[in-house]
Structure 1
């Protein structure tokens, strides 16, 4: 694959996080591919912007355009995965491939109930207390090179109720029918909740496959940054080889 063949890659972060989530992947893949990571509305540098899926798709589209290399591989984690599904439906001409990470569970029905409860509970807890707990958890579980960019960027707890409120009840495997590009469903092996519908999601698309990161949980790109980056790299190279 030549530099001219390398597809651009846009990374979309998960709930409460920011573009900093992807610092290991940007470092690992940036020499081979044009890469960018976005802050969704209400998160990171866009903390003051109101959340909406419509605005989220516009942010992703802006990142694809900024790379100026045509349609992109979009990698979305959790909330970012569902935003990427919406982007795939609205802007198919900008999508070369889709990586759904921790976002292959239906957000409809009984599954959504505990998440609605959490979305209602979070605003009642002081944000600084939540931030300290998140900092402690990330530093306990992961080395600084993996999480310090995320910690520095802070957390978007104030956006969580609106973001989950719009996503919950909206997505199931049927959303895959609106994706015109190849799909890699990339989950942590131990992420039992968010990989619960992976087979249904894969069956709903003619060119989708599932790959698991061994022993990884929901934050698979933190649990094993090298394996996660390698999976994205192989997927992007396959798309380039296919033309």
Structure 2
């Protein structure tokens, strides 16, 4: 965790099988102007021996928000995007803005069947799945971004329960319940963007951004650009928060 007296607090939420270390290069690029945290979710990283649930993951994010003052901008990728969105819907008073990356799809029908089957396979052979995942991460993201993904250890043994929880979460309802600004950010080549227009329509205050030539994870390689996107979102949220707090401003 980094801290600073100035700047909007930002909580980064990690993806499936990995841990909060995945965000280290981005947090470094964001710079010291913002207090930041990247908590491990239950079933991952330092908490890999704990059972995963959506409620438990949301509680982990809320705890991180409270440690940074009680309100923050949330940034999540993949599973982290689902969890960040669920947190925003359940605790809108704590979430000043939401950047949800690589999670604009509803895992239903054939996709859910394939997704669940992959989770069961990984959970049934966690050692091999962890090794394969580490190889794939490093190959897709050579250098610091790939190393950050594996630095906190991998947790394929919990993949099935995590995927089941995601499939059973009504993420559109969470988006609809959240009144604050939302950035839906997807790689142009990401298969998890198939319902992005439906997700955008569910937002009360949403915008959709595409990362050219990027897949599900490869946007992490563009560390400077991604950090700039996060800083821009933080600037928008800060301006709105300041205006709302001014005499006569909306609250």
Same fold (TM over 0.5): yes
Who is 1:138 aligned against?
Answer: 137
Give structure 2 stretches of 5+ with no counterpart.
242-251
1:24 deviates by 1.3
Who is 2:239 aligned against?
Answer: 241
Who is 1:31 aligned against?
Answer: 32
Distance in 1, matches of 2:56 and 2:189, equals 32
Over aligned residues, Cα RMSD in angstroms?
A: 1.7
1:25 deviates by 1.2
Give structure 1 stretches of 5+ with no counterpart.
none
Matches within 5 A, 1:181-220: 181-191=180-190, 193-220=191-218
1:241 deviates by 1.5
- Residues 1-38 of structure 1 deviation map (CA, whole Å, 9 limit, x = unaligned): xx866211101111111001101111011312111101
Matches within 5 A, 1:1-243: 6-68=7-69, 70-125=70-125, 127-191=126-190, 193-243=191-241
Distance in 2, matches of 1:99 and 1:149, equals 20
Distance in 2, matches of 1:135 and 1:157, equals 11
- Residues 14-73 of structure 1 deviation map (CA, whole Å, 9 limit, x = unaligned): 1111001101111011312111101100100111111111111110011011112x4111
Q: What is the TM-score normalised by the length of structure 2?
A: 0.89
Q: Which stretch shifts more, 84-93 or 59-68?
A: 84-93
Q: What is the TM-score normalised by the length of structure 1?
A: 0.91
Distance in 1, matches of 2:168 and 2:59, equals 22
Distance in 2, matches of 1:130 and 1:45, equals 19
Q: Which stretch shifts more, 181-190 or 100-109?
A: 100-109
User: Following TM superposition, where does structure 1 have runs of at least 4 consecutive aligned residues deviating by more than 3 angstroms?
Assistant: 172-175
1:205 deviates by 1.5
